[in-house]
Chain A
Amino acid sequence: DAGITQSPRYKITETGRQVTLMCHQTWSHSYMFWYRQDLGHGLRLIYYSAAADITDKGEVSDGYVVSRSKTENFPLTLESATRSQTSVYFCASSLTASYGYTFGSGTRLTVV
C-alpha cells in the first residue's frame, strides 16, 4: 500500500544503546522530516532532508544522526539513547516546499 510508513511502532530501549527508527515513503517525495512530539513542547524538528544525500539540522538535533542514501528512506539513529529522548517520533514527507506534509503514524520510543 502506498504511503509513508514508520517502524517500529513501539520501542523500548535502555540508556546508552543505539537505536534506529525507520521511515519509508513510496511517493518519491523530495523532502523528508523527523519530528518529536512531547507534552508541553509540541512538535519539534529534529532533522530534514531536501533530497537524497542532502540533510540539515532542525532545532533539536543533538544526539541524533540521519542519513538518506535513497530518496524513499530516511532513518533516524539515536547514537546513545538517553531518558530525555523518550518521546513520540514522527516522520513526514513533502513533494516540494510548496506542498504540505504527509505524516507517518509515529514511533513511540521509551528509554529506560
Chain B
Amino acid sequence: KQEVTQIPAALSVPEGENLVLNCSFTDSAIYNLQWFRQDPGKGLTSLLLIQSSQREQTSGRLNASLDKSSGRSTLYIAASQPGDSATYLCAVKRVDNFNKFYFGSGTKLNVKP
C-alpha cells in the first residue's frame, strides 16, 4: 500500500511569506501526483497534476515539484495571501494500480493578514 505523509499538519504564516508544503510517499514507482486545496466545508479543488515523467508544474503563484527517487513532492506558494488559507492535500497514484489515488492527511494553512 502507498503511504502518503504530509508534514506539518498545520502551518501559520504572516501574509506575504513564501512557503513550502511537503508531501512524502513510500513507493517511488508512482504514476502521477496531484495537489488539491480544500476550504472548510467544501469539496477538493485541483491545483496541479504532475506526471511521473515531469519534474515540476506551475500555475500562477504555485509551483509543485516531484522527486521520485527520494519519494517527495513540494508545493511552493509565493507571496502568500489570506485567501490561500485552506487545507492542502497531495494524492499519489502507483504504477501498479493507477486507477486510484492515495491521499495524505493534509496540511492546514493559515495566512494571517
Contact = CB atoms under 8 A, between A and B. Distances in A.
A42 to B, nearest CB: 4
Contacts of B44: 90, 92, 101, 103
Interface string B19-56: 00000000000011010100000111110010100000
Given A42-B104, A42-B105, A98-B51, A104 B99 contact: no
Bin chain B's interface residue count. Answer: 20 to 34
A74 interface: no
A101 B103 contact: no
A101 B51 CA distance: 13
Given A45-B100, A48-B100, A99-B49, A105 B32 contact: no
Contact of B99 (A48, A102, A106): A48
B34 A101 contact: yes
B68 interface: no
Please classify how large the interface on chain A is, using the bins under 10, 10 to 19, 20 to 34, 35 or more: 20 to 34
A33 B46 CA distance: 15
A106 B31 contact: no
Contacts of A112: none
6 contacts: A42-B103, A43-B103, A48-B100, A98-B51, A100-B34, A101-B101
Interface of B: 31-32, 34, 36, 42-46, 49, 51, 89, 91, 93, 98-101, 103-106
Interface of A: 31, 33, 35, 42-43, 45, 48, 50, 56, 58, 90, 92, 97-106
